[in-house]
Amino acid sequence: MNRASRRCAAALALLAAQGAAVAAISAGAAEEFTRKSGLWVQMDSIGAQVRSGMSDSLDKAGDDVPAERKARMLDCAQSAFAADAMRAIATDAVAGALNPEDARPLQGWFDSPLGRKIAAEEESSARQVIEPQERVRRGGEALAAASPARRTALQSILTETHSVDIMADTLIEMAFAVQQGMASLDPAVTPARVAAIRQGMMARRPQLVDHYTQISLPAYAFTYARLGDDEIQRYAEHLASPAAKAFNAGSTRGVARALGAGSAKLGKCLAGAGGDAAKP
């Protein structure tokens, strides 16, 4: 490499380093935001849901699956979707999506009285033991009685948080994890067959998006029923801000990456569990 080329390479490296420094916030700040937004808790629940789904499927299989194999498969699901690993991936995505100038408005929102109130309402709603159909029914009633401005603000909140996409992708990956686990019981199942299972599920994504689009607005109306119209409007305005848009984009990528990494780990773990089960 000649001197000019070396200078060019050095300049490009410097620019890249400067760009990386500008295009991300600290891991600590990103973790704080994932905690305060509820994303931290969401990552914790995914592993439990995958393990529960696989456990239900294994119970249906009855005695066809040896107890030792069942235990290994459930351990694989638990380790592949471990909360710490899922959180780390999501937090990294958030950190990479935010610029340093995004930190102050996000901090201001999460620590504001309204930001704290909304977080409390979301936690309260999540803790309520109520059938999904009943939640949607009550939300539908609240939506029918809502003013046009409130309905518009709720729709904006739904759109800006990417909730429908996140729910569809989460369901697909959790269902694939369970199917992947059950497929591992058949030695004749090839990697191509496993890939076909995923492709089949992804083909259903438009239908899942339609389904969640229909039920999510009433669900949001239920969750935020105790907030006033002005509070709902202010929340929608916050979510439309550049900092909130960047955070939600990072959150969406983080969930997708964490789910993908979990599925990959599960496949490797199940392959090992299958091999161990085949040993005398």
pLDDT tens per residue, range 69-85: 888 888 998 899 999 99
Condensed to tens digits (0 to 9), the pLDDT of residues 170-223 reads 888 888 888 888 887 777 778 888 888 888 888 999 999 999 998 999 999 999
Please tell me the predicted confidence (pLDDT) of residue 64.
77
Single out the residue of 161, 153, 138, 168 nearest to residue 259, CA to CA.
168
Please tell me the predicted confidence (pLDDT) of residue 58.
83
Q: Alpha helix locations (H) across the chain?
A: 3-22, 27-37, 39-61, 67-80, 83-97, 100-110, 113-127, 132-144, 148-160, 163-183, 191-203, 205-223, 229-239, 242-278
Q: What is the mean pLDDT of the chain?
A: 85
Condensed to tens digits (0 to 9), the pLDDT of residues 114-134 reads 999 998 898 888 777 788 889
Rounded CA separation 125/130 (Å): 9
pLDDT average, residue stretch 24-28: 87
DSSP class of residue 227 equals S
Domain borders along the chain are 27-278
If DSSP codes are grouped into helix, strand and coil, which group holds residue 53?
A: helix
Where is pLDDT greater, at 17 or 264?
Answer: 264
Q: Looking at the predicted structure, is the pLDDT value of residue 141 above 60? A: yes
Condensed to tens digits (0 to 9), the pLDDT of residues 55-68 reads 888 888 777 788 88
Kindly report the length of the chain. Answer: 280
The residue with tokens 């977080």 is 119
